[in-house]
Amino acid sequence: MSFTEPDPSVARRVLREIGQGFLGESRAAIAVREQIADFLARHATQDPPPPILLRGEAGVGKSLLARLIHQAGPRRDGPFVDFDCSAIPESLFEAWLVGIAPGAFCEARPGAFQGANHGTIFLDHVAELSHGSQTRLLWALEKVLAQRSVYRVGSTRNDPEPADVWILTSTRDDLRVAIHEGHFREDLYQRLGELDLLIPPLRQRVDILFLAEHFLARLCAEHSWPPKVFAPDARSALLAYPWPGNVREVKALTERVALRFAKKNIITAAMLALRKWNEPAGRPRRIRR
């Protein structure tokens, strides 16, 4: 079977497994699951599959979806390494990514790529990398994708280390816009975006009541409480609120209100107090250079 011919059994399995964690009944949520299932079904004979880039606002579930993709893919039995690109200074980025060789300028250590060998590496917040770190990441990716190996900082070119990894990436930014504005390397984007998947914000998914009721029911089950429900005015308030924090905000609010009013079986709009949460989404975020 050619990798361009989708394997129906893989598609069905991936849809089922992704759907257990990436919740939603809207057309937009279904489309996200279907795109992932189709992509993995078309690359069913490839291990690892090509890289996947996840885009979307903060709180839409990019990190959750990356882990679900790993668990539904061919590397499910291997490690999953979450590498936050925004948390590491440029001066340390390469050392944390590919490691430091013995006898180099400081203590030897493996990098994230070595830790993800035979598994998946998730490069989170990739758009926040400086140009220097983007270049270092590109060098490493070229070796990983072509040779399934990397070189530690301070090693010789004759001393590669295994780095057989599947690459998943996420960003809140549209990298094509960042490329046009000169903030992101186009050649790096080409390595990362075989599937460039946009996860819609919650306000475009119409899954608000479904998710809120799911989180409420789960919390009641965890605490062995009688079932709780949202009153009609609470349902209206949930639908009217813009949810700038997306799914993460729905989950946080639902859990906070349920715990605060643990003895109440009906959650009202007054309990939600969404008027206190309704803050502007904020100005466009500047990418750190």
CB 60 within 8 A of CB 200: yes
User: For the chain, how long is the longest CA-to-CA vector?
Assistant: 68
What pTM does this model have? Answer: 0.89
Rg of the chain, C-alpha, whole Å: 21
Cα-to-chain-centroid distance, residue 1: 30
- Give the pLDDT confidence score for residue 281 in this predicted structure: 43
CB 148 within 8 A of CB 116: no
CB count within 10 Å of CB 275 equals: 10
- Give the pLDDT confidence score for residue 162 in this predicted structure: 93
- Give the pLDDT confidence score for residue 91 in this predicted structure: 92
Give helix 208-223 / helix 232-240 axis angle, nearest 10°: 130
CA distance 29 to 42: 20
The burial of 272, by beta-carbon neighbours within 10 Å (0-12 exposed, 13-18 middle, 19 or more buried), is given as buried
Query: How does 233-270 read in b/e, with b if 16+ C-beta sit within 10 Å?
Result: ebbebbeebebbbbbbbbbebbeebbeeeeeeeebbbe
Query: How does 62-78 read in b/e, with b if 16+ C-beta sit within 10 Å?
Result: bbebbbbbbbbbbbeeb
**Bridge partners (DSSP) listed for residue 161:** 150
CATH classification for the domain delimited by 204-276, as one of 1.10.1060.10, 1.10.10.10, 1.10.8.60, 3.40.50.12500: 1.10.8.60
CA distance 105 to 115: 21
CB 54 within 8 A of CB 62: yes
CB 77 within 8 A of CB 71: no
Superfamily classification of domain 47-200 = P-loop containing nucleotide triphosphate hydrolases (3.40.50.300)
Pairing of strands 52-55, 80-84: unpaired
In 3D space, the residue among 76, 164, 159 whose CA is nearest the CA of residue 115 turns out to be 164
Domain ranges of the chain: 47-200, 204-276
Cis, bond preceding 48 (omega within 30 deg of 0): yes
- Give the pLDDT confidence score for residue 36 in this predicted structure: 97
Tens digits of residue pLDDT in 197-215: 999 999 998 899 999 999 9
- Give the pLDDT confidence score for residue 277 in this predicted structure: 44
- Give the pLDDT confidence score for residue 154 in this predicted structure: 82
- Give the pLDDT confidence score for residue 5 in this predicted structure: 80
Mean pLDDT of successive 10-residue stretches along the chain, which has 289 residues = 73 95 95 97 94 97 97 96 95 93 76 96 97 95 93 81 96 94 96 94 93 96 94 95 95 95 94 66 43
CA distance 49 to 46: 5
In 3D space, the residue among 106, 176, 111 whose CA is nearest the CA of residue 143 turns out to be 111
